[in-house]
Amino acid sequence: MSHPRLPDFLLLGAPKCGTSALHATLARHPQLFLSDLKEPKFFLTDGPPPTSGGGPGDVPTWGEHVWRRDEYEALFAASPPGALCGESTVFYLYDRHAQRRIRALVPEARLVAVLRDPVERAHSTGHTFAAPAWNPRRTSSPPWTASPSGSPPGGRTSGTTPPRAATASSSSACSRCAPASRCC
């Protein structure tokens, strides 16, 4: 009979910082075992997941929330002997209650924080939440998406505000916080 496994390390960070890419890369390493479920969110609550509130990406993930300890341990049950186990839940970075739960249950676990330039992260988040998958009323690219000529296709759409870094007229203002080469 195998012993229940808990993670040896946790990937945490902020959304849109590369945790998914790092999780996928580490999962291919022969001496590591990462949970198939990328964000089990086990340490976020002491009981069932929330049923209301949160942001636009939260509701679809509530069904993935693993909150029973035996179900959490089952995520690592298939790990080969000697492999280090890990999981990725970005929200552990800034949730103090989750950090206390981690320290209480797996005090020796290593925490790997994945961070990103805040301007780049905000720009990436804007594009993600403007995509049709997040906004069913949108059927095309966001209005601030530049065409190959560098100008917004068809001009700005009434009632929308582009991110500061996405328009040519704002590139000088943006360069105060990021090099112009990183602005759209």
- The confidence score (pLDDT) of residue 64 equals 80
The CA distance from 13 to 115, in Å, is 6
State the pTM of this model.
Answer: 0.66
- pLDDT given for residue 47 in this prediction: 87
Paired tokens of 50? 């929330």
Cβ pair 76, 35 in contact under 8 A: yes
Q: Is the separation of the CB atoms in 183 and 174 below 8 Å?
A: yes
Question: What pLDDT shows up at residue 82?
Answer: 95
Query: Which pair of structure tokens corresponds to residue 104?
Result: 């209480």
Question: Which domains, ranges and CATH numbers included, belong to the chain?
Answer: 9-114 (3.40.50.300), 118-182 (no CATH)
Residue appearing with tokens 């990406």? 57
Q: Round to whole Å and give the CA distance between 10 and 93.
A: 10
Average pLDDT for runs of 10 along the chain of length 184 = 84 89 96 96 89 71 86 97 96 95 97 84 68 58 51 43 36 38 36
The residue type found at 48 is P
Which DSSP state fits 91?
Answer: G
* Tokens at 95, concatenated: 């949730």
DSSP per residue, 98-164: HHHHHHHH-TT-EEEEE---HHHHHHHHHHHHHSTTT-TT--SS-TTPPPTTSS-TTSPPTT----G
